[in-house]
Amino acid sequence: MTRATCLEICAGAGGQALGLESAGFDHAGAVEIESDACDTLSLNRPNWDVRQSDVRDLNGRDFRGIDLLAGGVPCPPFSVAGHQRGGDDERDLFPEALRLVREAKPAAVMLENVRGLASKRFDDYRAAIIAELQAAGYHADWRLVSAVDFGVPQLRPRFILIAMRPRALRRFEWPTPDGSAPSVGEALGDLMGSNGWPGAQAWISRANRIGPTLVGGSRKHGGPDLGPTRARRDWELLGVDGRGIANEVPGADDPSDLLPRLTLRMAARIQGFPDSWEFFGRKTSTYRQIGNAFPPPVAAAIGASLLSALHSPPRNRSTVSVTAAATSLELVS
């Protein structure tokens, strides 16, 4: 497999990093400000250069020559009226990402964000980003991508920015959805019944759809639950108590009509993490890492498209196999 190099910022627990690795990117650096998430990255990939650092303190010139700059950078929250709320400028890391692009001069850029960035009230904000990238010699494309289209059993729409040099971007093709996502019951059935719970089979039949988007919460707000009231109500329709995270799976002595809670491992599967990926930290910290992650299969699919565009000649546009890229996650140890 042809491989390339990557610098990832705001790396979190490694969802995007794991996907990009399986697609063929070797990490020259993984930068994250939260200590538990850094320990998670180091626990799983001790050979990576994991840096606990604010992105503002990173010098992109140290990574000149990398093929890809990637990350899930936060942007400032806006009110419904479309005006930036006072005091939230410091949460906007897009300017820092653009600075790193200018300094590192990567061959490609991949930045993911929440669906809200695609809304009309962000038109001027997006236009400013595109203008800065063009000034640096890059052409860009945005797309709203849903995790369910790439084998992940939840909706989880994300807004993805891809930027490359003009000739390379003309070779880039967004991966085609494969429509292979299992239901929540199919994804978690073996875990839910692993301790002899008599209600496991009935639960699998009830959890016959994909789940709503997991919400990890912030460091200051949000505990280990599956999201706001509406999300918890949707989880309950699937037979899941979304008010918290369980320490263990249901057992043989639990009633068959129990409304079970997900364990951390179950939540990780809902995000598309392989069971081999370990997490460091207490329950709330670990769930926040999981719930805020970018699903690895989605990153794998987009990463494969990027690698194809970077290494394919202009007249030979490659067709990316999304299924192969996502499946290769299971081969990463």
Just list the catalytic residues: 75
CA distances from 53 to 49, 106, 305 (A): 12, 20, 29
Residue where the block lists tokens 């249901």: 250
Find out whether 270 and 187 touch, Cβ atoms under 8 Å: yes
Round to whole Å and give the CA distance between 238 and 296: 24
Residue type, 141: D
Displacement of CA 95 from its chain's centroid (Å) = 21
Burial of 320 (0-12, 13-18, 19+ CB in 10 A): buried
User: Environment class of residue 2 by beta-carbon count within 10 Å: exposed (0-12), middle (13-18) or buried (19+)?
Assistant: exposed
Residue keyed to tokens 């990255």: 41
Identity of the residue numbered 1:
M
- Token pair for 302: 């987009």
